[in-house]
Amino acid sequence: MELKTIALIGAGAIGSYFIAGLSKKSDVDLWVIAEGERKERLSENGIVINGKRYALNVKTAQEAAGADLLIVAVKYGSLQECLPGIEQIVAPHTLVISPLNGVDSEAVIGERIGMEHLLYSFMKIASQRVGNEIKYNPAVTLGLFFGETNGERTERVHALETLLNGTDIRFHISRNIEQDIWYKYALNISKNIPQAIINCGFGAYTDSAHLAYISDRLRDEVAAVAAKKGIDIKNENNPAGNNTAIAPDSRFSTLQDLDAKRPTEIDMFSGTLIRMGKELGVETPFNEFAYHAVKCLEEKNAGEIH
The pLDDT tens digits of the residues spanning 92-114 come to 999 999 999 899 999 999 999 99
Where in the sequence is the domain holding 233, given as residue range(s)? Answer: 178-301
Asked if 136 and 74 sit in the same domain, the reply is yes
- In this prediction, residue 118 has a pLDDT band, given cuts at 50, 70 and 90, of very high
CATH number of the domain enclosing 41: 3.40.50.720
Burial class (CB in 10 A: 0-12, 13-18, 19+), 258: buried
CATH number of the domain enclosing 243: 1.10.1040.10
Mean pLDDT of 264-285: 96
User: Per the domain annotation, does 128 fall within a domain?
Assistant: yes
With 70 as the cut, is the pLDDT of residue 77 above it?
yes
Nearest to 200 by CA among 245, 249, 163: 249
The pLDDT tens digits of the residues spanning 135-194 come to 888 877 889 999 999 999 999 999 999 999 999 999 999 999 999 999 999 999 999 999
What total number of domains does the chain contain? 2
Asked if 126 and 268 sit in the same domain, the reply is no
User: Per the domain annotation, does 283 fall within a domain?
Assistant: yes
With 80 as the cut, is the pLDDT of residue 226 above it?
yes
Cα–Cα distances in angstroms (integers) from residue 249 to residues 202, 244, 246, 252, 260, in the given order: 6, 14, 8, 10, 17
Asked if 29 and 57 sit in the same domain, the reply is yes
Q: Give the rounded percent of residues in the chain with a pLDDT score beyond 70.
A: 97
Asked if 268 and 196 sit in the same domain, the reply is yes
Asked if 155 and 21 sit in the same domain, the reply is yes
User: Per the domain annotation, does 306 fall within a domain?
Assistant: no
Where does a domain end: 113, 140, 175?
175
Asked if 126 and 203 sit in the same domain, the reply is no
**Alpha carbons 32 and 13: distance in angstroms, whole number:** 14
Is the pTM for the entire model greater than 0.75?
A: yes
Asked if 81 and 169 sit in the same domain, the reply is yes
